[in-house]
A and B are shown apart, each in its own frame.
Chain A
Amino acid sequence: MHFDAFDRYHDKESFLHRLDPRVKVLVTVIFIVSNALLPDGAWFAFGFAWLFLLLCNLLSKLGYAYSLKRSIIALPFALIAITVLFSIPGKPLSSFHFLGITFTITDAGLLRFVSILIRSWLSVQMAILLVAVTRFPDLIHALEHLRVPAILTTIIAFLYRYLFVLTDEVFRLLRARESRSGAVTGSKRRLERVERSGRGVLWRAKIAGNMAGQLFLRSYERSDRIYNAMLARGYAGRLYTLNPHEMKSVDYYATAFAIAVIFLMQWIGRF
């Protein structure tokens, strides 16, 4: 079993792939901050931001709609924001009845709702692109360079490494449970009953809890073995790494260019 489905990195030769990971992280964060700063209804700026995204997509050689296709992930959360449609005072656009309450959509509400969605959608796309063109270990290096505390980046590195091992374990546990979730041979009616109950919810929750406990113990004991393996190779409480990255001229130019573009975007959004 492989949980390579977790790997969002796409192996390609492109300008963005070669760029220093620090640059990519920095630009992504600035882009997302800039989106948050853009006022509601700054359509030109939103459009400009999207063009910038499009350019990045093209530079990544992943196809111009790569990030677009994967960006639906934030949509479910939009439900949370739907209330602004009705709650902001403004010119009524349309209204409907639901559960005996009248909801009125206002123009100001619609403007705000759409703006929130666009901001989120632009930000998510940039983050998608970031992990598609940066291998996760490089991302961790970038965080180290950007002064994220070492203890956190180390935990994240271990998390990434054992994510695959442990999710595989969970998956096999779930499979074993599934394969023993049988019912007695009998009439159709009996079957339906079993499918509905399969013992009570409490019992099922307890089984899930047992699996979590089992997984905890195994993880705990594994960490012991890993610690031994680290000791055996000279670990004495401090971790050392080689610096695999060096900023080249392209990296500086790219950062400068991106910051200029994002600043321009802010200017367009405001004036």
Chain B
Amino acid sequence: MFYSPAPLHIPDGFLSLLVSLVCWVVTALTLGAAISRTNKSLGERQIPLMGVMAAFIFAAQMINFPVAGGTSGHLLGGALAAIVLGPWAGMLVMTAVIAVQALLFQDGGLLVMGANILNMGLVTAAIGYGLFRSVSGSSKTVKLGVAGVAAWLSVMAGALLTSLQLWLSGTSQLGIVIPAMLGVHALIGLGEALITVSALAFILQTRPDLLGEGSESAKAGKGWILAGGLISLFVVFLSPFASADPDGLERVAENLGFIGAGQSAPFEIIPDYTLPFLGETALSTIVAGAIGIAVVAVISLLVGRGMKARS
């Protein structure tokens, strides 16, 4: 009743180090752009606004509605946040929400937080804002309809990315995880779409000024429409393909070099007993030794600092 963990929050341990780090890099780069953009384009008013909006998303995730058989639908909020706050601010707000969920409730891990932010905060915001923005001049009905589709797609995109990451980490089998995750989230996404649409309808009715065309310039708008559209297409085409023909996807990944050809299963991305990336070579042993020395150096440094600090 207080707080229910959502199935998209990956805990630590379920993603390999490599996948976690790659996701962190992507997330950090995007957030860096988001930060420099918000710092530039938004006024000082924006700090309390984004902070309270983050709390709003957190609280809104607790609003549920009974569906059937004791289950209930509720909100993820990425698309909604981006639509009402703009994409960059929406991303920062979702990042704060996901960080607090991980730090305070262990809902989602720390090392895999990059992946969680990517799946639930960045991609959802891009889809939500991009698609909504593409119909900015249209009638209210069209806007709401598109917002609903965007909300549903944003959940599907999150689920798809999560599945792919789990598969690349060797935690799940592609042929099972994709249909399972997408199936469940097709339903969860409906709840997301319904709440997002009626929340937007409420805002359009009471404070339409807040949903004005926003602070983004027309040119930046085009970029978002493109980004949102591309990600959506990716989701729309990849999902059925991956569900129907997982082996095909694996072959594609092999051809693209994501998975080394000839490997029977992707979990060997981090082989045992050697350092990642290097293989069983003399080089590996040397690097391992170097790391050992570095660690000892760090420890000595810390002890030295401790002696100097004198509590």
Contact at A35–B12, with CB atoms within 8 Å? yes
Q: Is there a chain B Cβ closer than 8 Å to A223's Cβ? A: yes
A32 to B20 alpha-carbon distance, docked (Å): 12
A248 to B309 alpha-carbon distance, docked (Å): 5
Evaluate whether A74 and B13 lie within 8 angstroms (CB atoms) in the complex, with A152-B92, A213-B202 already known: yes
Contact at B3–A6, with CB atoms within 8 Å? yes
Which of B99-107, B213-221, B230-238 lies at the interface with chain A? B99-107
Q: Is there a chain B Cβ closer than 8 Å to A128's Cβ? A: yes
Considering only CB atoms, which chain A residue lies closest to B92 in the complex?
A155
A177 to B198 alpha-carbon distance, docked (Å): 16
Q: Is there a chain A Cβ closer than 8 Å to B5's Cβ? A: yes
Find the residue from A74, A136, A235 having the highest chain B CB count within 10 A: A74
Evaluate whether A74 and B106 lie within 8 angstroms (CB atoms) in the complex, with A81-B171, A151-B39, A216-B60 already known: yes
Give the Cβ gap from B308 to chain A, nearest Cβ, in Å.
8
A139 to B63 alpha-carbon distance, docked (Å): 28
Q: Is there a chain B Cβ closer than 8 Å to A169's Cβ? A: yes
Picked from A6, A73, A131, A158, the residue with its CB within 8 Å of the CB of B52 is A158
Q: Is there a chain A Cβ closer than 8 Å to B110's Cβ? A: yes
Considering only CB atoms, which chain A residue lies closest to B15 in the complex?
A36
Q: Is there a chain B Cβ closer than 8 Å to A227's Cβ? A: yes
Evaluate whether A260 and B65 lie within 8 angstroms (CB atoms) in the complex, with A37-B17, A151-B47, A230-B48 already known: no
Contact at B11–A167, with CB atoms within 8 Å? no
Q: Mark A13-32, 1 if CB is under 8 A from B, else 0.
A: 00000000000000011001
Give the Cβ gap from A147 to chain B, nearest Cβ, in Å.
12
Contact at A215–B14, with CB atoms within 8 Å? no
A143 to B203 alpha-carbon distance, docked (Å): 35
Find the residue from A124, A208, A226 having the highest chain B CB count within 10 A: A208
Q: Mark B202-245, 1 if CB is under 8 A from A, else 0.
A: 11001100100000000000000000000000000000000000
Q: Is there a chain A Cβ closer than 8 Å to B7's Cβ? A: yes
Contact at B172–A83, with CB atoms within 8 Å? yes
Contact at A212–B10, with CB atoms within 8 Å? no
Considering only CB atoms, which chain A residue lies closest to B73 in the complex?
A205
* Residues of chain B within 8 A of A76, CB atoms compared: 5, 7
A259 to B12 alpha-carbon distance, docked (Å): 20
Q: Is there a chain A Cβ closer than 8 Å to B127's Cβ? A: no
Contact at B2–A215, with CB atoms within 8 Å? no
* Residues of chain B within 8 A of A117, CB atoms compared: 13
A227 to B38 alpha-carbon distance, docked (Å): 17
Q: Is there a chain A Cβ closer than 8 Å to B182's Cβ? A: no
Contact at B54–A83, with CB atoms within 8 Å? no
* Residues of chain B within 8 A of A51, CB atoms compared: none
A89 to B66 alpha-carbon distance, docked (Å): 43
Q: Is there a chain A Cβ closer than 8 Å to B298's Cβ? A: yes
Q: Mark B279-304, 1 if CB is under 8 A from A, else 0.
A: 00000000000001001001110111
Considering only CB atoms, which chain A residue lies closest to B89 in the complex?
A155
Contact at B109–A33, with CB atoms within 8 Å? no
Contact at B171–A212, with CB atoms within 8 Å? no
Which of B131-139, B254-262, B264-272 lies at the interface with chain A? B264-272
Contact at A155–B93, with CB atoms within 8 Å? yes
Contact at A219–B52, with CB atoms within 8 Å? yes
Contact at B52–A226, with CB atoms within 8 Å? yes
A262 to B303 alpha-carbon distance, docked (Å): 16
Considering only CB atoms, which chain B residue lies closest to A40 in the complex?
B272
A175 to B32 alpha-carbon distance, docked (Å): 41
Segment 165-217 of B: residues with Cβ below 8 Å from A: 166, 170-173, 176-177, 181, 191, 194-203, 206-207, 210
A241 to B106 alpha-carbon distance, docked (Å): 27
Contact at B272–A39, with CB atoms within 8 Å? yes
Contact at B55–A166, with CB atoms within 8 Å? yes
Considering only CB atoms, which chain A residue lies closest to B28 in the complex?
A149
Considering only CB atoms, which chain B residue lies closest to A5 in the complex?
B2
A121 to B73 alpha-carbon distance, docked (Å): 28
Contact at A87–B173, with CB atoms within 8 Å? yes
A207 to B265 alpha-carbon distance, docked (Å): 47
Known pairs A37-B17, A209-B201, A252-B304. 18 more at Cβ < 8 A?
A33-B17, A39-B270, A77-B11, A81-B14, A123-B12, A127-B110, A155-B50, A170-B59, A174-B62, A202-B194, A209-B195, A213-B199, A236-B44, A252-B306, A252-B307, A252-B309, A256-B299, A259-B299
User: What residues make up the interface of A, taking CB atoms closer than 8 Å to B?
Assistant: 3, 5-6, 8, 28-29, 32-33, 35-37, 39-40, 73-74, 76-77, 80-81, 83-84, 86-89, 112, 116-124, 127-128, 130-131, 136, 139, 149, 151-152, 154-163, 165-167, 169-171, 173-174, 198, 201-202, 204-217, 219-220, 222-223, 226-227, 230, 235-237, 239, 247-253, 255-256, 259-260, 263, 270
Q: List 6 A-B contacts (CB under 8 A).
A: A116-B171, A157-B51, A208-B74, A210-B198, A211-B63, A259-B298
